[in-house]
Chain A
Amino acid sequence: MISIEDFAQEANDWFAKNTPRDVGFMMPLTFMEVGTDQQFQFLRDWQRQVYEAGYLGAAWPSEYGGGGLTDAHQAVATKAMRKYDAPIMMNTIGLSWAGPLILDIGTEEHKQKYIKGILSADDIWCQGFSEPEHGSDLGNAQLRAVREGDEYVLNGSKIWTTHGHFGKYMILLARTNPEAANKYAGLSFILTPMNVPGVETRKIKKLTGEHGFTQTFFTDARIPTEGLMGGEGQGWKIAMQTLEYERGARGGQAGGYSITEPDPLEILNLARETGQIDDPVVRDDLLDYIIDAQALNLNKRRAKIAPLMRDHPAGLPLMNKLVATEFAREINQYALTLQGTRGAYYVDEPNAVDKGLWHRSYLNAFSATIGGGTSQIQRNIIAEHVLGLPKSY
């Protein structure tokens, strides 16, 4: 097996040479910002290129299409991507949520069928958890799956489906038994093809004015039962495991990143460009963001140092999503205040600071403070699972 050092060197060389620059359109900074076909095609091709070079899925088993190396190898490849500010790996739901889940608890057939397409971005994945009437109360999901022979018949609707209109497969939380002892016990988790009759996606316009996610309607859609994960009735537990991947509380992801994390250095540069860096009031604010950014960096590092995690082993992993997404929202919001009168501009306006990037990033930041369990739900989770406080409902 190639040494970590050699692999890191090769990855550095590769990203130095191959990372695309000046693409001529607004590059999505998070997977949730992929809205236009141009953005989608570009990022899909980019992911495939990275995968084929061996820098994505490096630690996934080679028999399913992975690189057969170690997490440490993938970590240095991801580090090289960051170093060269490479575009995101867009097939996030496959790479980071569905993929590790399938590798952990999927059948041999699941692994053979799905893993390679996730890595190559040939198969785009989306997630069907939230419903129009059931968002934070996910356990109450009502989309119905009725078993008929070796098929499930699906009826209902899922919403806030990122990449819904690009999706080939969906990880679906469905109600297989409405009569179960409690709402959770009636749920099942099914790997669902999207290109079957009776599945229809409708684009939803985001608060930014862009597209990027859909509502998905299921009308007597028939899918094979072989997509069932675990057994019927285990859907809630599996959905919770998926959310742990999504929130970064559990490892096993293919690697790369799906969100360009806000760097306080960029805010500093913005303050410098707009001539506000010498204002002591601005400096005072900036320091708070720098200290906070540093604390988040260090939290990640500390989570790997066992003696410093003894008191609350689940604490840092469970707070990661909350603190990272709220930080992104706040720092992007702050960036708008550094732009003076030009803070009024919006995306694509030629007079806008940085082409309106900060405005788009701020508004899009809510997708992460709301999606994957709202920040308020995250606080409940931390309160109950880390501090042992009583449930609220």
Chain B
Amino acid sequence: MSFDPHALGSLGITEEQVDLMDVAETFCRDKCDMAKVRAHINVTRGFDSEDWQALSALGWLGIAIPEAHGGVGLSLTEVVPVVEQMGRRMMATPFIPTTVTAQALLVGGTTLQKDMYLAKIANRSIATLALSEMNGAYDLTQIEAIADLEPDGYRLSGTKILVQNLDAADLIVISAKLDGEVTLFVVDADLIPETARRREKIIDETKRSYELSLDGLILPVTALMASDKVAATLAHIELCANLLGSAEQVGAAKSCIEYTVEYLRTRKQFGKLIGSYQALKHPTVDAYIGYEKARSLLYAAAHSFDEQGKGEIATRMATVAAGRALSFAADRSIQFHGGFGFTYDCDAQLYRRLAIFNDSQFGDIRWQKSKLAALLFN
């Protein structure tokens, strides 16, 4: 017996979390509404560059980067409330991929790479990850891309998919097999020709992702990340992405429920407000309860994130709960909006699509649960 259900992650809050929550709440509300979200669906880059400048000026890109590298010196614990507020407004920026890439460099970058890139990210640079491949595996070591050491550097071959915000990125972390071992590289985006990328059509239209052909790409030898830290880096990437993805979904779930409630309070049928019918009212309460549970698990994951073992358990639990909460809230939102819910103009689809996208990246609920089973039952 190896587990104590009362010690699966505790809950607390830091002053910095509260301060950031306050600032982010105002910032995201002022900068983003649904009209803007929809407008940016039709903009190639998919986000507002001025917003990016503004949030980097607030220091948010460096929250979890050490002071020695130009950051604020806090941790992802303090990033969570910021992403939650972004999720509430569906404010799509490359914030999550950039933050996760910085974390990857912190764990698996060489001293030189940390010196070169972390300060840039803390300042304003956009970073992203090229890890996934056509096999659709959640296991980030299941890759086929190849790196060969040649006189002029590492020659890559293969194809990466679902590389978020590649068109806007300044630097990219790429995985490939070198002599049969999974290896990570970090490169400046200007090494990658525009012809190597193709925009993908993804279900969450507020986000951007690209297919990246690695064929013919030659990376300088300095691009190789620490070879003894690859496993730890990939594991960290997965957990960071799940933590921040959960924060985004918890934030979105709240807004989605409010959106449904607003309709239930104004739409009349059979002479009564439809929110008075318990067939609609009770599932809406269930969605709300799911959201509150997920939020408790999220802040416990944020609080415990840096603790060995506990952090992973808490994060995977939060990921399960957040995914379910948003999926259920958005699914019911579509249904409860009736005919309007079936239209593109109803915002319910935006929330549902966001949940499907997030659930598909870095491990779906089944994946999280199989990892939890291994952690808790063995």
Contact = CB atoms under 8 A, between A and B. Distances in A.
B293 A376 contact: no
A379 B282 contact: yes
Contacts of A292: 293
Nearest to A291: B317
Contacts of B317: 291, 294-295
Given A283-B373, A284-B369, A380-B281, A294 B8 contact: yes
Interface stretch (A20-28, A36-44, A120-128, A302-310): A302-310
Given A299-B296, A387-B284, A287 B5 contact: no
Interface residues on A, range: 35 or more
A6 interface: no
Counting chain A CB atoms within 10 Å of each CB, the highest count among B289, B317, B369 belongs to: B289
Interface in A269-311: 269, 277, 280, 283-284, 286-287, 290-299, 301-302, 305, 307-308, 311
Contacts of A382: 285, 288-289
Contacts of B264: 389-390
Contacts of A269: 1
A221 B341 CA distance: 59
Nearest to A315: B292
Interface in A182-230: none
Given A379-B282, A382-B285, A389 B265 contact: yes
Contact of B278 (A263, A319, A323, A376): A376
A387 B297 contact: no
B293 A295 contact: yes
A382 B18 CA distance: 26
A388 interface: yes
B83 interface: no
Given A295-B321, A307-B13, A264 B276 contact: no
Contact of B10 (A287, A301, A308): A301
Contacts of B12: 305
A220 B300 CA distance: 57
Contacts of A243: none
B71 interface: no
Interface string B303-335: 000000000000001001100000000000000
A387 B277 CA distance: 14
Given A389-B275, A392-B276, A287 B284 contact: no
Contacts of B377: 268, 277, 283, 286
A391 B5 contact: no
A138 interface: no
Interface in B222-281: 254, 257, 261, 264-265, 272-273, 275-278, 281
Interface in B359-374: 369, 372-373
Interface in A307-348: 307-308, 311-312, 315-316, 319, 322-323
B11 interface: yes
Contact of B293 (A277, A280, A287, A299): A299
B4 interface: yes
B9 interface: yes
A277 B376 CA distance: 11
Counting chain B CB atoms within 10 Å of each CB, the highest count among A294, A307, A322, A391 belongs to: A294
Nearest to A82: B6
B274 to A, nearest CB: 9
A291 B284 contact: no
What secondary structure prevails in chain A residues at the interface with B? helix
Contacts of A390: 264-265, 272-273, 275-276
B350 interface: no
A33 B372 CA distance: 35
Contacts of A316: 292
B299 to A, nearest CB: 6
A311 B288 contact: no
Contacts of A264: 5
B276 A391 contact: yes
B18 A287 contact: no
Nearest to B258: A387
Interface string B1-44: 10111101111110001100100000000000000000000000
Nearest to A264: B5
B288 A290 contact: no
A265 interface: yes
B285 A387 contact: yes
Contacts of A388: 261, 265
Contact of B296 (A268, A298, A379): A298
B297 A290 contact: no
A5 B265 CA distance: 50
Given A265-B3, A392-B276, 15 more contacts: A277-B377, A283-B373, A290-B376, A291-B320, A298-B296, A298-B300, A308-B13, A312-B292, A319-B289, A387-B285, A389-B261, A389-B265, A390-B273, A390-B276, A392-B277
25 contacts: A264-B5, A265-B5, A287-B376, A290-B5, A291-B320, A295-B293, A295-B296, A297-B5, A297-B6, A298-B297, A299-B292, A302-B11, A302-B295, A302-B296, A307-B21, A376-B278, A376-B282, A380-B282, A382-B285, A382-B289, A388-B265, A389-B284, A390-B265, A390-B273, A392-B277
Interface of A: 263-265, 268-269, 277, 280, 283-284, 286-287, 290-299, 301-302, 305, 307-308, 311-312, 315-316, 319, 322-323, 376, 379-380, 382-383, 386-392
Interface of B: 1, 3-6, 8-13, 17-18, 21, 254, 257, 261, 264-265, 272-273, 275-278, 281-282, 284-286, 288-289, 292-297, 299-300, 317, 320-321, 369, 372-373, 376-377
8 shortest interchain CB distances as A-B pairs: A298-B296, A295-B293, A389-B275, A390-B276, A301-B11, A390-B273, A379-B285, A307-B18
